[in-house]
Every structure is written in structure tokens, then in C-alpha cells.
Amino acid sequence: MPSLTQRLGLRLPIVLAPMAGGISTPELVAAVGNAGGLGSLGAAYLTPAQIGEAGAAVRRLTQEPFAVNLFAPQSTSEPTAPQVERAVAELAPFHADLGLPPPALPPQTSGDFEAQLDAALEVCPAVLSFTFGRLETRHLEALRVRGILAIGTATGLEEARQLEADGVDSIVLQGGAAVGHRGGWSEDELADTLALTRAAAQSVRVPLIAAGGLMTAADVRAVLDAGASLTQCGTAFLRATEAGTSAPYRAALAAAKPGDTVLTRAFSGRTARGLRNAVTAGIGHPLPYPQQNALTRQMRAAGAAAGRADVLSLWAGEGVAQGREGTAAEILAGLWP
């Protein structure tokens, strides 16, 4: 059985983390692929048409394999009117400060997963990775018949076992240090990446991809020695030249010190790791995901346009202080000299 690295034709054991919201641009995905890693396009917030365009843009820049990443469908609960009122009231001062009227919840807040998956199948990348849950058998079968490898995300051993039973080709093990949204669907242990990798390597047979807090060549080497086939790095690429990271976000990352990250539901309603700011401190009653994500969208867009890091979701992992600027190829060379 060829290894995952061989099946994907990789020269480096490093996957660029998919970063939805415009960070993992086609330029960044292609640059990582051209340097020998696996680039991942974070497509969860894209419409089906945008997924097709982004896939075509990657193909114009590279002939190397790449991954498209989506959020697995989740059961969502509708918030009550008083919950919406309270969440709106909490955000209103931030809106007033930006010269915006109070936020309003748009009627439809969740995307159409089936249509997104159809668009991804059309792009036909080497890999379809997903987070936040499990895919149905028919989804996995649609990937299999097209020769697309399916990679799920687990935050603990039990989730990894469930994904293996579902028949995925590989599993991203997301340790607690990882940036951005927690990818699991059951109780999150916020596991140490190295310990989780070691434990999973003993109880799961599919190839494993370790993620969370991997910022140096020594970190990468350690998880491979612990049994991972590949590593997935996000924070390490946030300040890459080719990344879509906004100027105020880049400045906040450059100034970050160890211990500056928190787990917060303030921006999206789903727990995610990022830098502390006025919004993480000031929002105590967010709506569930995806409603809170929709409710904060206007604030985040206005904040980015005004260069205001205090109202942006500044996703960052615990390794943020070890991040550096540079091209994707330079960052990869630091992770795998």
C-alpha cells in the first residue's frame, strides 16, 4: 500500500491548513504545492460558483495536487427572539463605534453543503478535506468513485475511530493548540498534539495528519516520529506573502506574545482560538453557529476596511509568537529544512 505522501506525490510531509475566509488564497495553495507540500483551499464560506472559480485559479498556477476543504453539515438550533435581541444588543456598541446601524440577522445563515460538494466534485481536487463533523456514506462514495481522497478532522480518539469506521482515507488530528475553529463534534479534550498523535497511531490504522502548534522543524519531526504521516500547519502560514491575511490582522500577529490566544465563541458561535481583543472580551452571549457568524459579518468587514484589529476575528494558534513573514516556500523550508 503506497504511503499518503506517495499517493499524493508530495516532496514534503506538510499540508497547508485550509483557512476559510480568504486566507488560503489560490496563490498560497499553489505556492505550497509548487514547493512540494499539499496546499488546501478553505472553501467553506464560498458559493458553489466561487468554489469553481477558486479551483480553476489554483489550476492556472500549479499542476500539483491540492485539497478543497468544506464544513461538514451540522445540526443547528434556531435561536429564540430574546437570544437574538441580547446578541444584537451586545454587538450594537461595536457597530456604533464603526458608524454602523445595529446588526440584523439575515434570513438564511447557512450555506448549501450539497451544492458546495457538487462544485468541489466538479473541481475534482486530489483531496476533499472536511471539518466540524462526518460525511454521509453517499458523499464518501461520490469522492471515492472520482479518486478523490477523503480527509476528516478529529479532536480526540473517539472521533478518529468514528471517521475511520466511516471509511475516510486519512484523519487530521487537531490538537488543542490549533488556531481557528475546533473541528470536532463531541466533547473536545483540547488534547496535546503530540500525545494525541501517539495515542491515535496505536489505535487507528488510517494515515494520520497531526495539526496544532507545529511551528518549527523540530515540531514537525516530533509528530512524524510519534506516528503521523503528514503535518498540517496553519498559524505558520498566516503571515506568508501569498496569504490573504489583512493588514491589521498581520500587525496583530506580528505583535503577539506567547499566551495571547483565547478560545472564544464571540465571532461565529463556534469555539475557536484567536488573539484576545475587545470583541472576545465584550461578547458574553453569542448566538449559536452559524447565526453569530452571520451577525458579526458586517462588523468584521467594516473593521478590516478601517484597519481596526480590535473588532476582527484574529484567529491564531498557541504557536503564534514563533510565526514569521516570508514566502510560502521560505516558510516551508523552515519547517522541513
Determine which residue in the list 35, 44, 68, 171 makes contact with ligand FMN, applying CB under 6 A: 44
Comparison of 178 and 190: residue with beta carbon closer to ligand FMN: 178
Cβ-closest position to ligand FMN: 234
20 binds ligand FMN per the rule CB under 6 A: yes
Secondary structure (3-state) at 272 = strand
> Which of 142-150, 201-209, 230-238, 260-268 is the region at the interface with ligand FMN (rule: CB under 6 A)?
230-238
* Under rule CB under 6 A, residue 233 binds ligand FMN: yes
**Grid cell 469553481 — which residue?**
52
SS3 (DSSP) at 247: helix
Query: Cell for 59?
Result: 489550476
CB 312 within 8 A of CB 277: yes
Confirm or reject binding of residue 26 to ligand FMN (CB under 6 A): no
Give the Cα separation of 240 and 35 in Å (integer). Answer: 14
Query: Measuring CA to CA, which residue among 28, 106, 94 is closest to residue 67?
Result: 28
116 to 145: interface string for ligand FMN, x by CB under 6 A: ---------------x--------------
Query: Among 19, 103, 107, which Cα is nearest to 296's?
Result: 103
Would you state the cell numbers that stand for residue 28, as one nine-digit string?
498560497
The grid coordinates of residue 336 equal: 522541513
Rounded to a whole number of angstroms, the minimum distance from the CB of residue 250 to ligand FMN is 12
Cβ atoms of residues 48 and 119 within 8 Å: yes
Q: How far apart are the C-alpha atoms of 318 and 21, rounded to whole Å?
A: 20
Question: Which cell numbers in the block locate residue 256?
Answer: 503577539
Of the residues 19, 61, 140, 143, which one makes contact with ligand FMN according to CB under 6 A? 19
155-184: contacts with ligand FMN (CB under 6 A): 174, 177-180, 183
Closest to ligand FMN by CB, 233 vs 295, is 233
- CB distance 48 to 118 below 8 Å: yes
Contact between 319 and ligand FMN per CB under 6 A: yes
Site of grid cell 478543497: 68
Q: How many residues bind ligand FMN (CB under 6 A)?
A: 30
Residue 4 or 79: which CB sits closer to ligand FMN?
4
18 binds ligand FMN (CB under 6 A): yes
- Is 211 an interacting residue with respect to ligand FMN (CB under 6 A)? yes
Q: In angstroms, what is the minimal distance from the CB of 215 to ligand FMN?
A: 7
Distance CA 30, CA 62 (A): 5
Binding status of residue 235 toward ligand FMN by CB under 6 A: yes
CA distance between the termini of the chain: 27
Taking alpha carbons only, the member of 252, 181, 187, 185 closest to residue 19 is: 181
Closest separation in Å from C-beta 272 to ligand FMN: 8
Binders in 296-315 for ligand FMN, by CB under 6 A: 315
Binding window for ligand FMN (CB under 6 A); candidates: 13-21, 73-81, 219-227, 251-259: 13-21
Select 179 or 331, whichever has its Cβ closest to ligand FMN: 179
Q: Report d(CA 272, CA 301) in Å as an integer.
A: 19
Which spans of this chain sit near ligand FMN (rule: CB under 6 A)? 17-21, 23, 42, 44, 69, 131, 153, 174, 177-180, 183, 211-214, 232-236, 238, 315, 317, 319
